[in-house]
Amino acid sequence: MAENAGKARTVHAATDSRPDESQPASFDFVIVGATGDLTMRKLLPAFYERFRLKQIAADSKIIGVARSDLSTETYRQRAEAALKEFATSAPQDEKAVREFLELVHYVSLDASNTAADWSPLETLLATYAARVRVFYVATAPKLYVATADAIADHSLITDVTRIVLEKPIGTDLASAKAINDGVGRHFNEEQIFRIDHYLGKQTVQNILALRFANPILERVWNADSIAHVQITAAETVGVGKRGPYYDTAGALRDMVQNHLLQVLSLVAMEPPTALSAMDLRDEKLKILRALKPMDTEAIACDTVRAQYTAGEIDGKAVDGYLTDLGADMSNTETFLAIRAEVRTTRWAGVPFYLRTGKRMAHKETEVVIEFRPQPWAIFVDSPEPSRLVLRIQPDEGMSLSLSGKDPLAEGFRLREASLDVSYIKAFGTRYPDSYEDLLMAVVRGDQVLFIRRDEVQASWCWIEPILNGWAENARPMETYPAGSRGPASSDNLLRDDGFVWKEKA
């Protein structure tokens, strides 16, 4: 018998420097932009779910701030309606909703104006001056610096005060630097939490678990075994009421600069020394910096941009982008596909295809890893290349397609078979909304799921030439009907390399 049989295996673990999560957190959390869509749809429901799980102490305060003149009572009524609509467990638990609303306060204030009356907010914060204090700025990015200035002018920044900045951080490199510099005048980098809600998705975090807890995968996770990688974030929704913002952003700024490049970094990075904010972000940064810059020729050949026109989704007629926007013309892309390259030893020669779009046929966010084919085929059929699909959402899970022997065919024929795991079934639990994890991490002061200044800037460095190239029409705008898979040239981008996008079966 082998010497070690029956003995516990020694695992050399890197130290996890994350703070203690076992005690309910007690804090003051100021949400600037408290009457807005994000607060009502995401932030309050996320806090409520964690309160229900007893992770938030009853003496905590969630202080909503916006300019609208509302009493705390009226604000609580709005918050209650939002919880009933957006928090999955709220309609069944009136008592928990009532208890949670006791934590909620409202202050009417123009937070970008130092000269406004800040005293009601100061009074609320004075009760527990020494405890964790968070300012979550959920307003337009152009207000971030003025808001940080005003918070500082009123001496509200303690050693345990943090600021959360919603995306987008700027619209280009210069404006991102200006926000980082402006906020950085008052808050040090350890106090600044730049949010990217994709990092709060369990399935995105699971990329780390899959890669670094399963040597079977990590050993084939390189250019020797992988032919290409696809990252798709397809949505069926249009721009809705966010047209004025979206039309100044477009899919590249709205989805790629942040979410898709973060996912790409997690897929491509080297193993971090530990699961600490510094180590993880150092490794992601190396990937962002290793992205091959796009020159005019690459923008013409390796990018596709398009805008949706009227079409049909799930049997319902929907308008085109211009009608949704209420405009006669726009040069904003609602769909894009890009062939990117990561210039590292691990990934040399492996294309990374990025694709995102609004008003597509299906809502589907996934990472597809396609493995290289068998170099010498002994079968009559050529086996389909194996694909590992990481389903970020919906139907969170993963599948690995393999070739098996067709049991009924004459002779030895191959047929694709799939190993499929649904995380909800496998783990037998609900999948929390991404903001739940992120809000609690801010309270704990854990930056591992937040974007560091240099990451934001490295992303803009790669994105900006594409924006400029498109502005100069290096790649003309195309259209696609709502409910489709985007324009045909998106398929050609892969076909030219001998690949195809994986589409929903």
Ligand X SMILES: NC(=O)C1=CN([C@@H]2O[C@H](COP(=O)(O)OP(=O)(O)OC[C@H]3O[C@@H](n4cnc5c(N)ncnc54)[C@H](OP(=O)(O)O)[C@@H]3O)[C@@H](O)[C@H]2O)C=CC1
Ligand Y SMILES: O=C1O[C@H](COP(=O)(O)O)[C@@H](O)[C@H](O)[C@H]1O
Q: Which residues are catalytic?
A: 259
CA 275 distance to own-chain centroid: 19
Position 163 contacts ligand X (CB under 6 A): no
Position 434 contacts ligand X (CB under 6 A): no
CB 51 to ligand Y: min, Å = 22
CB 166 to ligand X: min, Å = 4
Asked whether 335 and 358 are in contact (CB, 8 A), the reply is yes
Name the token pair of 250. Answer: 């477009």
User: Rounded CA gap, 263 and 256, in Å?
Assistant: 10
Handedness of CA 438, 444, 446, 452 (dihedral sign): positive
Scan residues 226-265 and list those touching ligand Y (CB under 6 A): 233, 235, 254
Residue 235 labelled as part of a binding site: yes
Nearer to ligand Y, 28 or 166 (CB): 166
Q: How many residues sit in the footprint of ligand Y (CB under 6 A)?
A: 4
Phi-psi bin for 345: left (phi > 0), alpha (psi -120 to 50), beta?
alpha
CB atoms within 10 A of CB 270: 12
Asked whether 236 and 362 are in contact (CB, 8 A), the reply is yes
Q: How many residues sit in the footprint of ligand X (CB under 6 A)?
A: 21
Residue 363 labelled as part of a binding site: yes
Nearer to ligand Y, 172 or 235 (CB): 235
Handedness of CA 66, 69, 75, 77 (dihedral sign): negative
Residue 358 labelled as part of a binding site: yes
Beta-strand relationship, 226-234 and 351-357 = parallel
Nearer to ligand Y, 25 or 360 (CB): 360
HEC letters along 285-352: HHHHHHECCCCHHHHHHHEEEEEEECEEECCEEECCHHHHHCCCCCCCCCEEEEEEEECCCCCCCCEE
Which window, 110-118, 205-213, 226-234, 399-407, contacts ligand X (CB under 6 A)? 110-118
Name the token pair of 127. Answer: 């009760």
Scan residues 331-370 and list those touching ligand Y (CB under 6 A): 365
Name the token pair of 72. Answer: 């705390």
Asked whether 29 and 443 are in contact (CB, 8 A), the reply is yes
User: Residue 138 binds which entry of ligand Y, ligand X, none, with Cβ cut-offs from 5 to 8 Å by kind?
Assistant: ligand X
CB 279 to ligand X: min, Å = 27
User: Rounded CA gap, 10 and 13, in Å?
Assistant: 9
CB 204 to ligand X: min, Å = 15
Nearer to ligand X, 253 or 485 (CB): 253
Handedness of CA 440, 445, 449, 450 (dihedral sign): positive
CB 112 to ligand X: min, Å = 4
Residue 41 labelled as part of a binding site: no
CB 155 to ligand X: min, Å = 19
Position 110 contacts ligand X (CB under 6 A): yes
Nearer to ligand Y, 61 or 253 (CB): 253
Residue 197 labelled as part of a binding site: yes
Residue selected from 28, 80, 166, 396 as contacting ligand X according to rule CB under 6 A: 166
User: Rounded CA gap, 43 and 72, in Å?
Assistant: 17
Scan residues 59-78 and list those touching ligand X (CB under 6 A): 65-68
Cis geometry, peptide bond prior to residue 168 (ω within 30 degrees of 0)? yes
User: Residue 334 binds which entry of ligand X, ligand Y, none, with Cβ cut-offs from 5 to 8 Å by kind?
Assistant: none
Nearer to ligand Y, 289 or 363 (CB): 363
User: Rounded CA gap, 316 and 247, in Å?
Assistant: 24
The conformation of residue 42, written as its DSSP 8-state character, comes to: I
CB 233 to ligand Y: min, Å = 6
User: Rounded CA gap, 302 and 475, in Å?
Assistant: 9
Show the site string, 115-154: x = touches ligand X by CB under 6 A, - = not.
-----------------------xxxx-x-----------
User: Rounded CA gap, 478 and 335, in Å?
Assistant: 9
User: Residue 483 binds which entry of ligand X, ligand Y, none, with Cβ cut-offs from 5 to 8 Å by kind?
Assistant: none
Scan residues 364-383 and list those touching ligand Y (CB under 6 A): 365
Beta-strand relationship, 303-309 and 161-165 = unpaired
Residue 478 labelled as part of a binding site: no
Nearer to ligand X, 67 or 286 (CB): 67
Scan residues 167-226 and list those touching ligand X (CB under 6 A): 167
Q: Is 250 exposed, middle or buried (0-12, 13-18, 19+ CB in 10 A)?
A: buried
The residues of the shown chain that bind ligand X, judged by CB under 6 A, are: 32-38, 65-68, 110-112, 138-141, 143, 166-167
The residues of the shown chain that bind ligand Y, judged by CB under 6 A, are: 233, 235, 254, 365
* Residues of each annotated binding site: 67, 167, 197, 201, 235, 254, 358, 363
* Residues of each annotated binding site for substrate: 197, 201, 235, 254, 358, 363
